Structure 1
Amino acid sequence: MSLQYFYFIIQYSAKREAGKEAQSRTGKMKLEVYADRMSQPSRAVIIFCKVNGIDYTERKVDISKREHLTPEFAEINPMKQLPAIVDGNFKLFESHSILIYLACAFPGVADHWYPANLFKRSKMHSVLYWHHSNLRRAADTYVTNTTILPALGHPSNQQAAAEAEKLLFSSLSKIESFWLKGDGPFLLGRNQPSIADLSLVCELMQLEVLDEKDRERFLGPYKKVQQWIKRTRNATSPHFDNVHNILMKVKEKLKNKPLMEANHGGALDIQKRLRSRI
């Protein structure tokens, strides 16, 4: 069997299964998305649904109130993490898996989000797998320990923050020099955004809550990364900025925190308000 024929069979089977899945959704209840918009992966899933006109109901699970740890939510996702979806009798968690499912199961999603081409799809998987063990681990750990926990009055792990800082610089460097290498303006040199672009840019948006100098220290050296973030936001406008509105509000609260801390009551007040948003 030639490689070309083998490839054709795989492509044909994948398209046939995707068609069956789209047909099997007929008559299902509306998709439910369990999310907290302060969660980077939650935002990626919500934006994807909005951009692609996927009809869904958003179920807010407030992480700050530990609602993700309740027995009720454990029935949805035993790992007790966000986001998660329920589509009829089908339950799924992990944002990358959810995005892949949505791209395959719902009709009308453009091929550039998750290409049918096996080779292009496999390359995209490599970005997604890299994301979790590099950029996500770095950005989330750094922001949590340098900004979020102190703002909430909780102790932070400075050693973890220092290690995350190194990994974050390394991750940004690899995006700049490797993942954005190619003729197109998006990851893997593509001309249009994919689920990988959306996932990684939502991750980097968490850096917005850092103070301006710290954020510039990370992103300033990487011009291609900055342009790519802007292009991904524009390509998913207006939904991208609308979904990130809650993050921008937290950014403003943190920006004004030194003024609020002029008195003890002010410090307690901002902590209380941040808890309702983080």
Structure 2
Amino acid sequence: MSNKLVLYNLDISPPVRSVKIIAKLLGLELEIRDIDMLGSEHLKEPFIKINPEHTVPTLVDNGFVIWESHAICAYLVDKYAKDDSLYPKDLQLRARCNQRLFFDGSSLYMRLRDCSYYIYLGGKELPPQDKIDPIYAVYEILDAFLASDPFLVGENLTIADICAAVTVLPLEIYAPLKADKHRNISAWLNRVRQTIPFFDEMNVEIVKRYREWLMGIIEKNKQNA
């Protein structure tokens, strides 16, 4: 049994990248095991035995298995961080952090998944307006969260900022931020980048590749029509 932290990985996955950023901030070494989801490796017995939901990221810590990125991030900070700044122990601050994490998973990421699935399932163009409008609706909420504080849980960066920021980057493929309506989000993203020196290094190029990959799928769907 490996004593290393094992992370089942898919580079283009925003939730996976959130976990990798947290691990790097904590100085943790990860043993990366790529999962070929396009080849349905996640649906085969070896991986399903580890994670019945067959999702990435999945983390194995000396035999303990956990999946769902927000749960993994919270676990890593609680176990390995030198302080609680990334995931506050104060009950009210932690409640706010959890709420923002749930918002990322149920609102931001679901909009991203809906648009991406539209293309995966045969879309011959970028998603229609009825899928774009919900993204802008959720941007309005995120912008309101940031109206009075520099980060999502007050004055300090937390795992909620990291998870949400990593989701927003590919969301902009479908719904670019607007300078006149989303000033708070844009300023917040810049603060996240300034606070995490390697943030862009771990995200920008992959998001660019993801966009190119999506455009390639659209072209194939057109040809197969």
For the aligned pair, the TM-score class normalised by the smaller chain equals 0.7 to 0.9
Instruction: Letter of the 1:230 partner, please give it.
Output: N
Distance (Å, rounded) in 1 between the aligned partners of 2:37 and 2:207: 14
More helix by share: 1
Distance (Å, rounded) in 2 between the aligned partners of 1:203 and 1:143: 13
Asked whether 1:156 is paired with 2:123, we answer: yes
Distance (Å, rounded) in 1 between the aligned partners of 2:123 and 2:43: 21
* Unaligned stretches of 5+ residues in structure 2: none
Distance (Å, rounded) in 1 between the aligned partners of 2:60 and 2:214: 34
Instruction: Letter of the 2:167 partner, please give it.
Output: E
* Unaligned stretches of 5+ residues in structure 1: 1-27, 262-266, 272-278
Write out per-residue CA displacement over residues 89-128 of structure 1, whole angstroms, 9 at most, x where no aligned residue: 10001111101100111142x4221011111101111111
Q: Residue 165 of structure 1 is aligned with which of 117, 132, 138?
A: 132
Which residue in 2 is equivalent to 1:10? none
Point out the more displaced range, 32-41 or 226-235: 226-235
Asked whether 1:119 is paired with 2:80, we answer: no
Pick the structure with greater CA Rg.
1
Instruction: Letter of the 1:170 partner, please give it.
Output: A
Point out the more displaced range, 223-232 or 59-68: 59-68
Aligned residue for 2:8, secondary structure, equals strand
Change (3 A) 1:209 1:169: closer
- 4+ residue stretches of structure 1 with deviation over 3 A? 160-164, 250-255
Instruction: Letter of the 1:187 partner, please give it.
Output: L
Which residue in 1 is equivalent to 2:9? 35
Identity of aligned residues (%): 26
Aligned residue for 1:164, secondary structure, equals helix
RMSD (Å) for aligned C-alpha atoms: 2.8
Q: Residue 163 of structure 2 is aligned with which of 190, 195, 199?
A: 199
Q: With structure 1 as the length reference, what TM-score do the two structures score?
A: 0.70
Structure number with the bigger relative contact order (C-alpha 8 A, sep ≥ 6) is 2
Is this contact kept in 2: 1:140–1:206, CA < 8 A?
A: no
Asked whether 1:66 is paired with 2:40, we answer: yes
